[in-house]
Amino acid sequence: MDEPKERRIAALEAELASVRTEMQQLVQTVSHDLRAPLRHIVSFARLVEEDAGEQLSPEVLGFLSTITDSANHLGALLDGLLVLSRAGTAPLQLEPTPTLPLVKEVCAALAQQHAQRSIDWQLPSVLPDVWADGVLLRQALNHVLGNAVKFTTPRAHAVIAVSLLGGEGANTVLEIADNGVGYNPAHQDKLFRVFGRLHGPRDFEGVGVGLVTTRKLLQRMGGMVDCESGPSGGCRVVIRLPSVPFH
């Protein structure tokens, strides 16, 4: 490669790193500067309810509750933005990473958190190592498997299955399937939008950044994620990650 081209590439890489840093600082600053007003809104709404609650009509008390709920929701949106911004700037260390232990650890943690539910975890006995960052891969798996747990909540008996679709060549392909409520395939384009939600907030918690964050984490490791659902429910998430290179 000639020297002028190397200098241009180096300059572009430096500019990209600067933009990423500025974006992260912007999100953190906005989040920090909005925290205090949000805390004030919630605190003073509660003070009004405590001090004058007996004098207020049910309608006005409902208004105060809406104020508090909206402020808390905005706080959750800010948290989601921070998580997303950090996904693009977290340190990256690519190396041979055992996949199965990570899958088992994430599933065990989720099973413990939802011990009161009936969840059939179907895990493979063997999974190949992948070329990835273990910390970022754990985060991505936690988002996807956490979604499977969340969207199977209405099922009396949930089934969450992890399987290997392919492990040869340049990529290792994993599938995470569940028997949850799924989503309307007509809204597929909203899946990977920031704050894109395919279900109402009263049906399922969350702000709609999990899949976006997962895609960013996997892209940083040279991977990708796809998602699909059928009209009868259930969801299928396919994760592709680089296989461990041969030397």
pLDDT digits (tens, 9 = 90+) for 76-120: 777 777 777 777 777 788 999 999 999 999 999 999 999 999 999
Parallel, antiparallel, or unpaired for β 119-122 and 224-230?
A: unpaired
Backbone φ, ψ for residue 162 (5° rounding) = -110, 130
pLDDT digits (tens, 9 = 90+) for 178-187: 999 888 887 7
67-76, 169-178, 195-204: the lowest-pLDDT one: 195-204
CA distances from 187 to 170, 190, 203 (A): 31, 6, 17
Report the C-alpha gap between 153 and 9 in whole angstroms.
Answer: 49
Amino acid identity for residue 52 in this structure: A
Burial class (CB in 10 A: 0-12, 13-18, 19+), 27: middle
With CA atoms as reference, report the closest residue to 89 among 23, 14, 13: 23
Q: What is the mean pLDDT of residues 218-247?
A: 87
Which stretch of DSSP H or E encloses residue 119? strand 119-122
Judge whether residue 149 has pLDDT over 90: yes
